[in-house]
């Protein structure tokens, strides 16, 4: 028995799901298939988004599987690295934008609603309180989103998918508006969100291999 919780061999346990939960497995497979097929976004674009979301969920099985699929669809390593840096930038932005709730928590006159667009007006307070860090964050965020091997438009589409995975309402709002300005269609954004949904489901699905391994020990 290996002391490592993550072994590719564990994935073999997933073959047991057809006996343990056949209906659920069938429904999951059809969901995954429908989401990954060509649509407003190409299969390559969807696999790049999948690799990005797999880094949000931090599922090594999903990272391995979708990196291989993305490569098969023609994605370069440079494109995948840029996509993951979008993840890093959006996750950093989630912490930064949520600092506005911290500011409100210390203000007895603040609105009772925790999430309002107007909260972002207080974002500058973090910049005043931690100027060096905030300036460096702003530069990193902008750099992670600039066009490179991936277009600025596609990076914003990825960012919208990531924001739904991290469940940051500020990030969803900001990046949806940015994606719209960059020319992303409603269909492209909707398909990106569905990829995010499938990857969140897939992370739980893949980790059942660990559960089955542990149960059998």
What is the predicted pLDDT for the residue at 188? 98
pLDDT reading at 1 higher than 50: no
The three-state DSSP-derived secondary structure of 6-31 is CCHHHHHHHHHHHHHCHHHHHHHHHH
pLDDT reading at 9 higher than 90: no
Q: Is residue 153 part of a domain?
A: yes
Q: Is residue 84 part of a domain?
A: yes
What's the CA gap between 189 and 176, in Å, rounded?
A: 8
| 103 within 8 A of 173, measured Cβ to Cβ | no
pLDDT reading at 210 higher than 60: yes
Look up the domain containing 139 and give its range: 42-208
**Tens of pLDDT, residues 119-173:** 888 888 888 999 999 999 999 999 999 999 999 999 999 999 999 999 999 999 9
User: How high does pLDDT run on average in the chain?
Assistant: 93
Q: Is residue 11 part of a domain?
A: no
pLDDT reading at 184 higher than 80: yes
Look-up of token digits 């269609």: 185
Instruction: Indicate the number of domains in the chain.
Output: 1
Phi and psi at 178, nearest 5°, equal -65, -40
What's the CATH number where 73 sits?
1.20.1290.10
pLDDT reading at 22 higher than 60: yes
Q: Is residue 29 part of a domain?
A: no
Q: Is residue 93 part of a domain?
A: yes
What's the CA gap between 127 and 134, in Å, rounded?
A: 5
- Estimate the crossing angle of helix 186-216 against helix 152-166, to 10 degrees: 50
């Amino acid at each position: 028995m290996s002391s490592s919780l993550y072994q590719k061999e564990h994935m073999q346990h997933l073959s047991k799901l057809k006996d343990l939960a056949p209906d659920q497995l069938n429904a999951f497979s059809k969901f995954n298939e429908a989401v990954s097929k060509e649509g407003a976004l190409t299969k390559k674009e969807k696999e790049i988004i999948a690799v990005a979301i797999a880094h949000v969920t931090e599922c090594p099985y999903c990272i391995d599987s979708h990196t291989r699929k993305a490569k098969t669809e023609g994605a370069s390593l440079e494109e995948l690295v840029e996509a993951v840096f979008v993840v890093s930038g959006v996750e950093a932005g989630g912490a930064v934008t949520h600092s506005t709730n911290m500011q409100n928590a210390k203000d007895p006159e603040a609105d009772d609603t925790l999430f309002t667009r107007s909260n972002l007006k207080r974002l500058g307070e973090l910049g005043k309180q931690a100027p060096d860090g905030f300036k460096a964050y702003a530069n990193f965020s902008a750099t992670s989103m600039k066009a490179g091997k991936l277009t600025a438009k596609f990076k914003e589409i990825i960012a919208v998918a990531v924001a739904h995975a991290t469940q940051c309402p500020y990030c969803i709002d900001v990046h949806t508006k940015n994606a719209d300005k960059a020319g992303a269609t409603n269909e492209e954004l909707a398909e990106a969100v569905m990829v995010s949904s499938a990857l969140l489901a897939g992370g739980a699905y893949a980790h059942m291999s660990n559960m089955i391994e542990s149960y059998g020990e």
